[in-house]
């Protein structure tokens, strides 16, 4: 490979990494916090067309409604979907253990620390294993990889790539696509429904590229997990249950 060819390939990788960082930033931002004025403006302008091409038609009320009303509406939907009791909890700990802030949270935080990041909450009740934060971490790793490539540090770029892929396979791949499906099915506003659907698709695409077929099947099974309905046996106790 000539130097020119290598340069071109590197440039392409940088571009691709930047693009992936952008996508994951968008997905992470959508799920991590309520939309604000700046984000709404981006959705209405720069992001509108690319999102449509990715299969996310932004709903009319979001595109044309008065900003304050739209943001209020989205904030209520966000709280009901991800924050208030009874919500689809966006935390790995809850998904895996049924309780907040358990070992998955520490584990994910360890990933952040190892990569030179520090988790700082903006509001109470936030933990490192939030879906949005984890996707934001993927974005940050893509971005870091691009930075490494830009400064010609191929070794560091490779290390970052390996870290990203491992993080996706070990911490994200086993539950987030399935979680996105469940969350999308109960979202009350089409914006979140479609963005959750997009998140699931993007992730699965990403996983398909990095996971060997056998591992991919395992991930598919893990993401198909549904709460089992266990019926109580009438033989088990008296009919009154006491």
Query: Which residues contact another protein (rule: CB under 8 A)?
Result: 34, 72, 75-76, 78-80, 83-86, 88-89, 91, 94-103, 106, 121, 123-127, 175, 178-179, 182, 185-186, 222, 225-232, 238-242
Local structure of 18: helix, strand or coil? helix
Least Å distance, CB 41 to another protein, is: 20
Least Å distance, CB 139 to another protein, is: 23
C-beta closer to another protein: residue 100 or 209? 100
Q: Give burial (CB, 10 Å; 0-12/13-18/19+) of 51.
A: middle
Q: Give burial (CB, 10 Å; 0-12/13-18/19+) of 146.
A: buried
C-beta closer to another protein: residue 3 or 123? 123
C-beta closer to another protein: residue 23 or 88? 88
Least Å distance, CB 224 to another protein, is: 11
Q: Which two tokens stand for residue 165?
A: 């892929």
C-beta closer to another protein: residue 19 or 100? 100
Least Å distance, CB 72 to another protein, is: 7
Least Å distance, CB 149 to another protein, is: 36
C-beta closer to another protein: residue 72 or 158? 72
CA distance 217 to 178: 13
Q: What residues form DSSP beta bridges with 91? A: 130
Least Å distance, CB 212 to another protein, is: 22
C-beta closer to another protein: residue 112 or 142? 112
| Nearest alpha-carbon partner for 104 in 203, 29, 175 | 175
């Amino acid at each position: 490979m000539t130097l020119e060819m290598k340069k071109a390939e590197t440039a392409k990788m940088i571009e691709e990494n930047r693009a992936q960082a952008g996508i994951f930033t968008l997905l992470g931002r959508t799920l991590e916090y309520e939309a604000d004025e700046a984000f709404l403006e981006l959705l209405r302008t720069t992001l509108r067309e690319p999102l449509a091409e990715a299969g996310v038609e932004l709903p009319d009320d979001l595109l044309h409604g008065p900003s304050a009303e739209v943001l209020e509406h989205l904030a209520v939907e966000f709280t009901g979907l991800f924050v208030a009791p009874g919500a689809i909890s966006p935390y790995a700990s809850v998904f895996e253990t049924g309780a907040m802030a358990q070992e998955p949270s520490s584990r994910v935080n360890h990933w952040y620390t190892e990569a030179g990041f520090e988790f700082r909450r903006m509001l109470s009740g936030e933990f490192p294993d939030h879906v949005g934060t984890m996707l934001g971490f993927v974005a940050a790793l893509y971005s870091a990889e691009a930075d490494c490539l830009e400064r010609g540090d191929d070794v560091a770029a490779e290390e970052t790539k390996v870290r990203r892929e491992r993080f996706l396979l070990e911490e994200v791949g086993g539950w987030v696509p399935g979680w996105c499906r469940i969350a999308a099915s109960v979202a009350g506003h089409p914006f979140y429904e479609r963005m959750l659907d997009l998140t699931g698709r993007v992730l699965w695409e990403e996983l398909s590229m990095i996971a060997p077929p056998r591992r991919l099947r395992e991930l598919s099974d893990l993401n198909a997990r549904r709460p089992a309905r266990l019926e109580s046996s009438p033989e088990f106790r008296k009919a009154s249950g006491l």
